[in-house]
Amino acid sequence: MTIISVQSYPADICYNRVMNEMLAKFTDGLIKWLDGLNLIQILTTIIIAYLLCKIAGPIIGWLTAHIIKGPRNETKLAKVERRKRAKTVADLISFIVKLLIAVTAVYTVLTDLGIDLAPVIASAGLAGVALGFGAQTVVKDMLAGFFIILENQYRVDDVVQISGVGFPATPVEGTVRSITLRRTTLRDRDGNVHTIPNGSIVEVINRTIGYSKFRFTFAVDVDTDVDEIIKIVNDVGDKMTKDADWSKDIVDAPHYDEFGRIGKEGINVTVSGTTMPGKQWKVSAEFRKRLVIELQKSDIVIADVEQ
């Protein structure tokens, strides 16, 4: 009789041996895969895409500014409007170009890594049909954004009041910080940022397109000499217009507009003026300060404003 002895190995030794063999196979496969890659080409693609994205903005901004040119005798107001328009269009084109560069770079790198994208692209077409029904809102937003920019409804740096579907009772007002095909971003006077889907916008009040105006009312005693109050208001406006620090912001000097409600308590006096876009609040505040100083020097009595 032949006796066969079976040598047993501890379980941990078997486990380590199997793991070492798997690790060796994985390492060998990884080395062969890396050896077949053109790492220099991949790095070159990434670097070129990064540099193109960095210079795309300035180049597109420069080209847009030269394409959207004004006449030689362009007015100051027209120049401000043209620059806003050019900046808004340049930002949109820059976003689209950078997106195309990024998509192209990703496709190139994945191809160099040996990933076959043909099945992914084919399935994306079927998925696009399925997602199309759920992406109607996105399409609506993008179409609305396209027409906002095309029709020049508002531009970056404009001060607007927006109301629409799903808005709170009080419309949103602020300075336009960015416009894309899908959304508009505003920053209000308190510093809050509002992101609004373009498709939900129904009405826009643009306070800074072309030029800006301000109007305010104050009341004086009913016995006030009306000719004197008109003279004081107009003199303050004329002096402010001749001031070098303020003349560049004023289009039409602040002046007496009309007398409003007349009652026992007093007479309402309305003042108005025209300024460069967006400068109405600053000019109005300075004018009110100067007007109060001049009224304090005279014998005119300020009354309560009646509506």
CB atoms within 10 A of CB 32: 9
Q: How many domains does the chain have?
A: 3
- The model carries a pTM of 0.63
Kindly state whether residues 75 and 103 are assigned to the same domain: yes
| Contact call for residues 177 and 186 (beta carbons, < 8 A) | yes
Residues 179-188, mean pLDDT to the nearest whole number: 90
Does residue 166 lie in a domain region? yes
Note the pLDDT tens digit of each residue in 113-140: 777 766 666 666 655 655 565 567 888 8
Say which residue, 183 or 69, is predicted with more confidence. 183
Concatenated DSSP letters for 95-117? HHHHHHHHHHHHHHHHHHTT---
The burial of 304, by beta-carbon neighbours within 10 Å (0-12 exposed, 13-18 middle, 19 or more buried), is given as exposed
Say which residue, 105 or 70, is predicted with more confidence. 105
CB atoms within 10 A of CB 176: 22
Kindly state whether residues 100 and 24 are assigned to the same domain: yes
Beta strands 172-179; 183-187: pairing state: antiparallel
| Residues near 101 by beta carbon (within 8 Å), at least 6 away in sequence | 49, 52, 53, 56
Does residue 125 lie in a domain region? no
Domain hosting residue 48, numbered range: 11-115
Does residue 87 lie in a domain region? yes
Helix axes 39-67, 76-112, angle to 10 degrees: 160
* CATH number of the domain bearing residue 217: 3.30.70.100
Does residue 3 lie in a domain region? no
Least confident of 61-65, 283-287, 290-294: 61-65
Kindly state whether residues 190 and 254 are assigned to the same domain: no
Residues 234-244, mean pLDDT to the nearest whole number: 93
What is the token pair recorded at 188?
Answer: 């209000």
* CATH number of the domain bearing residue 202: 2.30.30.60
